[in-house]
Structure 1
Amino acid sequence: MTYKIHDSDRHVIEPIEIWEQYVEKEIFEKHPVYLKTNKNAKGEELPAEYMIGSYPIVKYWTKSLQEESNLINKETLLQRHQAKTGVGQLQSMDLTNIAIANIFPTFALGVIYHSEIPSYVAVAYAKAYNKWLNDYCNVNPKRLKAVGIINRHDPYEMIVQVKEVISYGWKTIILRPEEINGRTLGHKDYEGFWKICTENNISIAFHGGAHFHGKSVGTDRFNDRFSLLATTHPFEIISAFISLLTSGVLERYPTLKFAFLEAGSSWLPYWLWRLDTICYPDFPNQTKENIKMLPSEYFKRQCWIAIEPGEPCLREVINIIGSNRLLFASDFPHPDHEHLNSDDVPSKLPELTDSELKEIFELNAREFFNYEEEHEHANYN
């Protein structure tokens, strides 16, 4: 069976020059984003560091990590170059039979959510990224679907940012899942934000990342790549769902759509089982206002999750939430994920039926990303 493969998590590589081109001149001059060159003890040049002002955007990125990163990056040099432009991105998609992709940031997440920059600077960089992304995706907007980035430093400015995203005609935004400026996702100050997203049918994708300059699971106790990669992605995604659940966001906004990306899905059966059978019955008077049905029912009603080809327990995931809630996501061009040709992916999922594979690779993304009718008539050539 052939599919019009939808890649639900495909990334750009932001060329360093875009910030000076798209950010307001006064802000860029005070808080420039640039590349800083480093050398190892032997005097050999290391990969340049992405900086904002005097701060690196990647935390705990040691010289030894830079040296190893340099070796890994050589393997994906072509892919990272392709990801810098819309034309290159389309070429990379054609090579792996991807019909359509939602486009996510790479370095912009570290810039825009950096804990050491003022709110107005973070918002200015978020707006600049979205302007550049609009130009990037306009090469072929039927195949390159922009995901607008929203900065969470200031809840009021989040509403302003969403309105701008809506003006582009986009239907999905990305948020970091962490606690930002002392506010978890369930904080009362975000109520206006959830409301405007609901009114405009904006879907929300959560996507974190290791080495974050901010409060994040793992960074409070680890500083090595292995530990940060192991903890940050899954535990921040888990915490995001808990925050939305216990604060009543899922109860008050039953039509809001959420996707949890780049953390796999195999943890989900255990986690929903624990919430349903242990946490929900315990002290029910404490949760009765915000959680009025089983936690797993909220997930099945309005949440999607990205799978990793080859991960275990997918049958158990489907048994508890259904195959219609799973998304295919390549994470292209990042080297910490396997970049498979889409023709090879079904072989990594031998336990799934043809109809389940069609849902995961093609149909489910249409519903989450809100373009069912448009998708039917798109020309992918």
Structure 2
Amino acid sequence: METADAVQQDKSIRPKVKKSIIDCDIHHYTGLDVTKAYLSKQWRDSPPPPAPQGGGHHFNGGVGGRMVDSFPPEGGPAGSSLEFMQQHHLDPHHVEYAILTGEGGGANRLQYEYEAAICCATNDYTIEQWLSRDARLKGSIYVTKHEPNLAAKEIDRLGKHPDMVQVLVHNGARLPYGNRFYDPIYQACERHNLPFSIHVGAEGGGVNSPTTNTGPVSHYIESRSARPQVMMAHLASFIFEGTFERFPTLKVLLQEAGVLWVVPYLWRLDQIWMEERIQLPWMKKSPSEYFREHVRMSTQPFEATPNRKIFDQSMKSMFAEETLMYCSDYPHWDFDSPLMALPKMDDALWDRVLYYNAAEYYNLPDRRADQDKKPHQ
């Protein structure tokens, strides 16, 4: 994908973003060098446990996996300067709300207390140094998912904060997310009306299960190609384990693992459920119905279809007018500009994907311009 500067240079032949958007995935920098100050003295003065092995990203684009032009001119990591992010992405692309997802996704080790402390520090840093400085920004609650009771405690601590709008974990996990082991997390999500978002990453890392069912992979391209199968396992687990029956208001986001693979996968889930549903008496709906009611998907990275007809049919088959939400993945090397992320769509679908699906998912207001158009009561 092209950088924001490249898009701006090509204004003459590309449409401008005429309406404001919600970007559901912006990676602000959350390295330990900036979050350490938010750790308690106990953890600040203690040497950290050994880092988890395996599952690392082997970025082969940009600089260290970031867009070449996304580094602040004053120095520092990409995504570390709010002012530069405002100039480089938020302002030129008319971002009305930006969901910050940091540079992690929760814990991948079994040192529960330490991991919980890191999550708390990251959350507090995000609130103080980012959310308090720009009303467009909304945050994600990091949790130590391998100890669901500690995760629930952190959700309860921050669940009433008006700018923390989701609970965020990695795709990589020890168990599929529909397993009842995680129920305390979903109970806390429902208590605070917070969605549960799964971002790619950490597959095969630390104590997490391998990247694929056949084991670890050798190259980054293999890991990236395998991400949908990990999301498939989580999605099937949510549906067939009865998670959405136990937690009828739970909302789930599958983020940054591609999109259109879900179309034939839902066909498959519906078919095998019809054949074997006698084994699952707790399921009251078909898998595709559960998906439509509870699950959302982010646009980045969106697969290029062979032709327009396949794109249109795929969007219809995955209920995109309800389930698809735009994200840029800024400032990563495969950043998707809102000018180029998707083929041209009619205005109604564009509004749903680029704004209103996310507004409903995160319980955010209508677009300000649309509010102004409404007749006064």
Does the alignment pair 1:86 with 2:82? yes
Distance 1:78 1:95 in 2: 17
Partner of 2:318: 321
Structure 2 residue corresponding to 1:205, chosen from 197, 206, 215:
197
Does the alignment pair 1:221 with 2:219? no
| Cα shift at 1:126 | 0.5
- The amino acid of 1:6's aligned partner reads I
Matches within 5 A, 1:123-134: 123-134=116-127
Distance 2:67 2:276 in 1: 54
- The amino acid of 1:217's aligned partner reads T
| Cα shift at 1:25 | 2.6
Q: State the TM-score, normalizing by the size of structure 2.
A: 0.81
Partner of 1:2: 18
Structure 2 residue corresponding to 1:333, chosen from 326, 331, 334:
331
Structure 1 residue corresponding to 2:242, chosen from 248, 261, 267:
248
Distance 2:31 2:56 in 1: 22
Identity of aligned residues (%): 18
Structure 2 residue corresponding to 1:17, chosen from 33, 41, 54:
33
| Cα shift at 1:318 | 2.6
Secondary structure of 2:18's partner?
Answer: coil
Give CA-to-partner distance per residue, 1:248-273, whole Å, 9 cap, x none: 11122222111111012110110000
Partner of 2:356: 363
How many residues are paired up?
342
| Cα shift at 1:274 | 0.4
Does the alignment pair 1:287 with 2:280? yes
8 Å Cα contact 2:210-2:216 kept in structure 1: no
Deviating more after overlay: 320-329 vs 205-214: 205-214
Does the alignment pair 1:95 with 2:92? yes
| Cα shift at 1:195 | 2.1
Give CA-to-partner distance per residue, 1:173-204, whole Å, 9 cap, x none: 11223333xx4322223323322311321111
Distance 2:233 2:303 in 1: 24
Q: Report the CA distance shift for 1:354/1:195 in structure 2 as closer, same or farther (over 3 A).
A: same
Distance 1:16 1:118 in 2: 16
Structure 2 residue corresponding to 1:195, chosen from 176, 187, 190:
187
Partner of 1:47: none
Partner of 1:28: 44
- The amino acid of 1:222's aligned partner reads V
| Cα shift at 1:319 | 1.6
Secondary structure of 2:248's partner?
Answer: coil
| Cα shift at 1:74 | 7.0
Does the alignment pair 1:263 with 2:257? yes
Give CA-to-partner distance per residue, 1:201-225, whole Å, 9 cap, x none: 1111111215633224339231321
Partner of 1:43: none
Distance 2:60 2:357 in 1: 40
- The amino acid of 2:298's aligned partner reads A
Matches within 5 A, 1:346-361: 348-350=342-344, 352-361=345-354
Distance 1:195 1:66 in 2: 36
* CA-atom RMSD in angstroms: 2.9
8 Å Cα contact 1:266-1:311 kept in structure 2: no
Secondary structure of 2:71's partner?
Answer: helix
| Cα shift at 1:230 | 1.2
Q: Which runs of 5+ in 2 are unaligned?
A: 1-16, 373-377
Structure 1 residue corresponding to 2:115, chosen from 118, 122, 128:
122
Partner of 1:177: 171
Q: State the TM-score, normalizing by the size of structure 1.
A: 0.80
Secondary structure of 2:200's partner?
Answer: coil
8 Å Cα contact 1:265-1:317 kept in structure 2: no
Q: Which runs of 5+ in 1 are unaligned?
A: 33-52
Partner of 2:292: 300
Does the alignment pair 1:152 with 2:145? yes
Partner of 2:225: 230
Secondary structure of 1:30's partner?
Answer: coil
Q: Report the CA distance shift for 1:234/1:76 in structure 2 as closer, same or farther (over 3 A).
A: farther
| Cα shift at 1:149 | 1.1
8 Å Cα contact 1:309-1:345 kept in structure 2: no
Q: Report the CA distance shift for 1:195/1:311 in structure 2 as closer, same or farther (over 3 A).
A: same
Q: Report the CA distance shift for 1:88/1:378 in structure 2 as closer, same or farther (over 3 A).
A: farther
Q: Report the CA distance shift for 1:287/1:217 in structure 2 as closer, same or farther (over 3 A).
A: farther
| Cα shift at 1:156 | 1.1
